[in-house]
Amino acid sequence: MHAINTKKELIERLRDIRPSNSLGLVPTMGALHKGHLELIKKAASENKYVVVSIFVNPTQFNNIDDLNKYPKTLAKDLELISKVDMDILVFAPSVEEIYDDSVKAKNYDFGGLDKVMEGKFREDHFNGVGTIVEQLFSIIKPNRAYFGEKDFQQLRIIEKLVESQDIPVQIVPCPIVREDHGLAMSSRNERLSNETRLKAGFIYKTLQTAKEQFGTKSALDIKEWVKNQFLENDDFELEYFEIMDVETLTPIKSKTTNVKYRAFVAVYANEVRLIDNIALN
Ligand code: PAF
């Protein structure tokens, strides 16, 4: 493992590597968990070299409190990465290194993918994600980049970014990794009490039942059922539950053959915001 803090050093380091070797990128905001490790291991199995970026990107937070409370555990992260059976390059820049004087996001046209769910509740979030990911692609020029399906909307938006800007990188989607009782792994889980963390298996259980119901019930009935499940549960507050066409991220009207659907949920557990999703067909 080799940690680098500046674009200049990283570019120099990659100059000799890139022309003749495959290079994988795993972009992260640190506070690494088993889900990240799966992405890193997959990248290591498919590429000769791997860069893991660790950068808590301020422009994708619409809430300063959320940014300030985001766990920052660089020393622990580096230790975890050093256990992977490959000499990983870690890029951990400062905010100034990435944004110079102006900590601002670019404005993108994601064709409406950013107007629903996370985009609706977290204004400008995806402009911030696009800004940092585009910059990482431009500095590192990876052959492949690895993103978890837990942030499925983010994954679709990055696919759109790559397609619309003609960026020569393969986006590799990776399945959601879950804790034993079903909670999707997330850096934010660290902020839950042990008790709430155990109870949060309820979120995935609800998604699984919604999936079972998808065969026989209407989307409207499923939405109503999910809403009631959360109303009856004092530990979690539902922000949204949506059933979307995975290509367009538009809400289902009526089930259409050959269209793939996913159910998406965002939930508050006290002040901690959790998201999850499940493929329905
Ligand atoms: O998914 C994340 O951790 C972040 O949104 C990403 C892709 C690293 C961009 O900051």
- The predicted-structure confidence for 251-268, as pLDDT tens digits, reads as follows 999 999 999 999 999 999
Query: Residue 87 has what pLDDT?
Result: 93
Catalytic annotation, pick one of 33, 36, 125, 181: 36
**Residue ID of nearest Cα to ligand 1 atom 2:** 28
Ligand 1 site-directed mutation target among 59, 67, 108, 129, most atoms within 8 Å of CB: 129
181 is catalytic: no
Q: How confident is the model at residue 239 (pLDDT cuts 50, 70, 90)?
A: very high
Query: Residue 151 has what pLDDT?
Result: 98
Q: Could you tell me if 268 and 200 are in contact, meaning their C-beta atoms sit under 8 angstroms apart?
A: no
Ligand 1 atom having least distance to the Cα of 129: 9
Q: What percent of the chain has pLDDT over 90?
A: 98
Structure confidence by residue, pLDDT tens digits, 167-211: 999 999 999 999 999 999 999 999 999 999 999 999 999 999 999
Q: Could you tell me if 238 and 276 are in contact, meaning their C-beta atoms sit under 8 angstroms apart?
A: no
Strand runs (DSSP E) across the chain, as ranges? 2-4, 23-28, 49-54, 89-91, 144-148, 170-174, 237-245, 261-269, 272-279
Cα radius of gyration (the chain): 19
Q: Which region among 26-30, 56-60, 66-70, 158-162 has the lowest average model confidence (pLDDT)?
A: 66-70
Quick check: 101 pLDDT over 90? no
Average pLDDT in the chain: 97
pTM for the full predicted model: 0.97
Quick check: 43 pLDDT over 90? yes
Domains and CATH numbers, the chain: 3-174 (3.40.50.620), 187-279 (3.30.1300.10)
